[in-house]
Structure 1
Amino acid sequence: MRRGRRRGARKRTWGQLLVVLAGLVVFAAAVGGAAGLGMVKSQVSQIPRVSVGLSLDLVGTSVDPERRGSTEALNFLLVGIDNAAGIDPDSPIHIDRDVNTLLTDSVILVRIDPDADRVAMLSIPRDLWVPIAGKGWSERVNAARGIGGAATLIETVSEYLGVPIHHYVEINFAGFLRIVNAVDGVPVEIAQPIRDDSLGLRIEQSGVITLDPDTALAYVRTRRPLTVAEGGDPANDGDWVRLGVWNDLERNQRQQEFMVATLKRAVEKGIRNPLTLRRVANELLDDDNPSITLDDRITVGQLVDLGDEFRSFPVDQIERYKLPVVDAAIDGKQVLLLQEEEAQSVLEFFKALSLAGVRVRILNGTRSGTVAGVEAELERAGFSVVDRGNADRFDVARTVVRHTEAAEDKATTLARYLEPAPLRELVAEIDGADVELVVGSDYGAVSDTPRDSAS
């Protein structure tokens, strides 16, 4: 069964995903298991935290030790800050820019789903026009953090796209440079010469080029690149012409491709080796100029558990998505508008409720039935069975899913996996569980895959 994997079965690691994408050596350290745990703890203590816990979806952020080892799917919001603090003043990064700016240069939603063996990333264009959470007006999404801090950015993205955000990771330019330096540059397939004088970017040849830190940052940031005209000479400034259509979507694609290339480079450099991890950690963390920030909910235990769940995850299997948008002008600003109907299929995986986050109490409603088999099927599918017992009667003909108004989404998720489709019952309160499953005589099975609807 695709969803039948239990802890202790084949493990994969996605730890190097976030260490390279966002400077999180603590995730990569989880790859080293027990050997790397001491280093994980010491590195976590050095990374600054931002208090955004109340803005995060608390599913997947529990510090309850009983929840350790669960296979809950998690959404991480990875944010690159357009801030050059701590960087050499002679660096081309400082060209035409304010060192104190707080705009978000990139916003990426990463979904980690151990139960489905899937890792996916979704780029959110910086010019996406969104309602700013709690403000009553709209602006480009890259302004949200500067308006109200990380919490406002989290709430803005979560509310507008309708996706839960469980953890927050922030990195500035200095952190990006340290990542690239730590892996000795990143080889990238350059299809054609590319240039952007405003960022100090100039690559005159095509092919696989190992980008140094400054060139790599300029490459992923450029929005108005040039290339050499057919038959032109790269040494002749007059032969450079516009490359592409100069929008955020092209840049997002370059960023995603660069992230995957960086992950591959990190694996090649042996980032799964604890000694290599320590070297990378020392490269990334700078007490005088911290460049990485984590949310105040993530725990060492969660990092290690996730590392155990995804041991040796193939980098090439990371899924990449982009939002469907259209160009528009609002209040004199060039912005991007979300095509909401088309976006739903893109957002479906990122919205999906983690099955491990659905806590089920099973109640037997038949005289001859037993709930032991039902419990086993639910757990194989990924649900969390927290209790079982008898219903208040034993002549239940049709299986029922009971739920409170607050747990409606969880009840819908459970119902979609049950065959045949159960009845639904709204109740005022359920103690100790999210939903109650009253097993009737019509109960068939827990399906491997959900139906399109709960009924």
Structure 2
Amino acid sequence: MFLRVTSEDAHGDGKGGEARRGGGRTRLIRAAGALVACGLVLAMAGAGWAYWHLNQNIKSVDIDGALGSDRPARAVTTPAPSASASASPLPSGALNLLVLGSDSRSGRANAALGGGDSSGARSDTAMVVHVDAGRAGATVVSIPRDTLVTRPSCPLPSGGTTAVAYSSMFNSAYSVGGPACAVKTVESMTGIRMDHYLEIDFSGFAKLVDTLGGITVTTDQDIDDDKSHLHLRAGTHRLDGEQALALARTRHGIGDGSDLGRIGLQQKVVKALLEQIASSKLLTDPTALYRVADAITGSLTTDTGLDSLPELVRFAQSLQGLTSQNMKTVMMPVVPAASDHDRVVAKEPAASTLWESLR
């Protein structure tokens, strides 16, 4: 690089030096501007990549397309009033969701948490969540996976349909026909249209709890379960992701060892998770917010009505008034099955009365 020196500069009259100093300031300002512009471009690119990544995380199933029109009527929803005429109002009508915890062993992380490889998958946890109109209160109804039901004919992901199955275990619907069959079975049992479907797997749940820094749960009795590797004294505990998953899945260390005993624990875990999310300062910590969003979107399978980041955000915003204190948790009334005392059936008329109250 060569620097040209004029005769005036050489004689030292000061004018050339002043010009150079002015040119240096100009170059410094331009360089700073370029750095700021580069920073903005990188920030925008980073935000764009983060949005793309979170959006790509979400897996979905076209429940409406698979089941067609042979379903209960959809509830009528009314939008909440908006402070801005130009803003799109958030939905505020009553809403019903089927939330499943899948015991799939697919993938190394799920296999390790699930206790080894296993073919297929079942709905390890099933909850019908009814959100009240106004979306400030909700009722969560757990369906025991060992409930014997009439499983309706379901469309298969590979084409064709299944035959109607009588006295079939509830969680077999998912293993036979996937999410669409699980939804159709629940709708057949309850007479309630499931507006949305949400599924989370083993590793996704554990990762979410760990990303949130754990959850706090109080147990009413000692839990000693070698199969889930969970050993807790009665009392309050701070659990990491693997421990929280074990608590939601344990059945041999409590009660009579049946599926019914763990449902109360599952409901405790769900409430604790909601409380931890509500108490986290996510909106003031973009890095933590991204980690939580990555954990949530990476572990979810949804219906196509919630399969994009804007739709999930809008859905979450509509539920911002819902707290764990305003959530009622119950179990579908059941009695031992006459044909198999290791299984249960819906207790009537109590079960029908429950579903009618939600309708």
* TM-score normalised by the chain length of structure 2: 0.71
Name the residue aligned to 2:238. 210
Q: Secondary structure at the match of 1:111?
A: strand
User: Residue 44 of structure 1: CA displacement?
Assistant: 3.5
Q: Which structure shows the bigger proportion of residues in strand conformation?
A: 1
**In structure 1, C-alpha distance between the alignment counterparts of 2:73 and 2:94, rounded to whole Å:** 12
Is the 2:76–2:93 contact (alpha carbons within 8 Å) kept by the matching residues of 1? Answer: no
Matched, 1:319 2:348: no
Q: Which of the numbers 253, 273, 276 marks the counterpart of 1:265?
A: 276
**In structure 2, C-alpha distance between the alignment counterparts of 1:89 and 1:323, rounded to whole Å:** 28
Q: Secondary structure at the match of 2:184?
A: helix
Q: Which of the numbers 279, 284, 292 marks the counterpart of 2:291?
A: 279
* Root mean square deviation of aligned Cα: 3.1
Q: Which of the numbers 96, 102, 107 marks the counterpart of 1:81?
A: 102
In the TM superposition, what are the counterparts of 1:44-443 in structure 2 within 5 Å?
44-54=55-65, 55=67, 59=74, 69-88=90-109, 91=112, 93-95=113-115, 97-115=116-134, 117-134=136-153, 135-138=163-166, 139-203=168-232, 205-225=233-253, 243-273=254-284, 275=286, 276-286=288-298, 291-298=299-306, 303-330=312-339, 334-351=342-359
User: Residue 142 of structure 1: CA displacement?
Assistant: 0.5
**In structure 1, C-alpha distance between the alignment counterparts of 2:135 and 2:297, rounded to whole Å:** 33
Assess, with a 3 A threshold, how the Cα gap between structure 1 residues 309 and 296 changes in structure 2: closer, same or farther: closer
User: Residue 117 of structure 1: CA displacement?
Assistant: 3.1
User: What amino acid is the match of 2:181?
Assistant: T
C-alpha offsets along residues 392-436 of structure 1, whole Å, 9 cap, x if unaligned? xxxxxxxxxxxxxxxxxxxxxxxxxxxxxxxxxxxxxxxxxxxxx
Q: Secondary structure at the match of 1:199?
A: coil
Q: Secondary structure at the match of 1:120?
A: strand
User: What amino acid is the match of 1:104?
Assistant: S
Q: Secondary structure at the match of 1:80?
A: strand
Greater Cα radius of gyration, structure 1 or 2 = 2
Q: Secondary structure at the match of 1:147?
A: helix
* TM-score normalised by the chain length of structure 1: 0.57
Where does the alignment leave 5 or more consecutive residues of structure 1 unmatched? 1-35, 226-242, 352-455
Assess, with a 3 A threshold, how the Cα gap between structure 1 residues 86 and 271 changes in structure 2: closer, same or farther: farther
**In structure 2, C-alpha distance between the alignment counterparts of 1:37 and 1:314, rounded to whole Å:** 32
C-alpha offsets along residues 183-228 of structure 1, whole Å, 9 cap, x if unaligned? 111111122321111121122x332111122221111111111xxx
**In structure 2, C-alpha distance between the alignment counterparts of 1:308 and 1:284, rounded to whole Å:** 15
**In structure 2, C-alpha distance between the alignment counterparts of 1:249 and 1:186, rounded to whole Å:** 23
User: What amino acid is the match of 2:92?
Assistant: T
C-alpha offsets along residues 144-178 of structure 1, whole Å, 9 cap, x if unaligned? 01111211111011011211111111111011111
C-alpha offsets along residues 2-43 of structure 1, whole Å, 9 cap, x if unaligned? xxxxxxxxxxxxxxxxxxxxxxxxxxxxxxxxxx99977863
**In structure 1, C-alpha distance between the alignment counterparts of 2:91 and 2:109, rounded to whole Å:** 44
User: Residue 81 of structure 1: CA displacement?
Assistant: 0.8
Q: Secondary structure at the match of 2:218?
A: strand
Assess, with a 3 A threshold, how the Cα gap between structure 1 residues 323 and 272 changes in structure 2: closer, same or farther: farther
Q: Secondary structure at the match of 1:326?
A: strand
User: What amino acid is the match of 1:249?
Assistant: L
Q: Secondary structure at the match of 2:104?
A: coil
**In structure 1, C-alpha distance between the alignment counterparts of 2:111 and 2:351, rounded to whole Å:** 42
Assess, with a 3 A threshold, how the Cα gap between structure 1 residues 169 and 57 changes in structure 2: closer, same or farther: farther
Is the 2:138–2:327 contact (alpha carbons within 8 Å) kept by the matching residues of 1? Answer: yes
Is the 2:136–2:321 contact (alpha carbons within 8 Å) kept by the matching residues of 1? Answer: no
Q: Secondary structure at the match of 2:174?
A: helix
User: What amino acid is the match of 2:235?
Assistant: G
**In structure 1, C-alpha distance between the alignment counterparts of 2:209 and 2:51, rounded to whole Å:** 21
Q: Which structure shows the bigger proportion of residues in helix conformation?
A: 2
Is the 1:87–1:174 contact (alpha carbons within 8 Å) kept by the matching residues of 2? Answer: no
Is the 1:58–1:166 contact (alpha carbons within 8 Å) kept by the matching residues of 2? Answer: no
User: What amino acid is the match of 2:126?
Assistant: V
Name the residue aligned to 1:239. none
User: Residue 303 of structure 1: CA displacement?
Assistant: 4.1
**In structure 2, C-alpha distance between the alignment counterparts of 1:302 and 1:48, rounded to whole Å:** 13
**In structure 1, C-alpha distance between the alignment counterparts of 2:72 and 2:51, rounded to whole Å:** 24
User: Residue 292 of structure 1: CA displacement?
Assistant: 1.8
Is the 2:122–2:172 contact (alpha carbons within 8 Å) kept by the matching residues of 1? Answer: yes
C-alpha offsets along residues 215-255 of structure 1, whole Å, 9 cap, x if unaligned? 21111111111xxxxxxxxxxxxxxxxx4233322211110
**In structure 2, C-alpha distance between the alignment counterparts of 1:186 and 1:305, rounded to whole Å:** 25
Larger CA deviation: 313-322 vs 68-77: 68-77
Where does the alignment leave 5 or more consecutive residues of structure 2 unmatched? 1-46, 78-87, 154-162
Is the 1:114–1:309 contact (alpha carbons within 8 Å) kept by the matching residues of 2? Answer: no
Assess, with a 3 A threshold, how the Cα gap between structure 1 residues 274 and 167 changes in structure 2: closer, same or farther: farther
**In structure 2, C-alpha distance between the alignment counterparts of 1:73 and 1:89, rounded to whole Å:** 34
Q: Give the aligned length.
A: 288
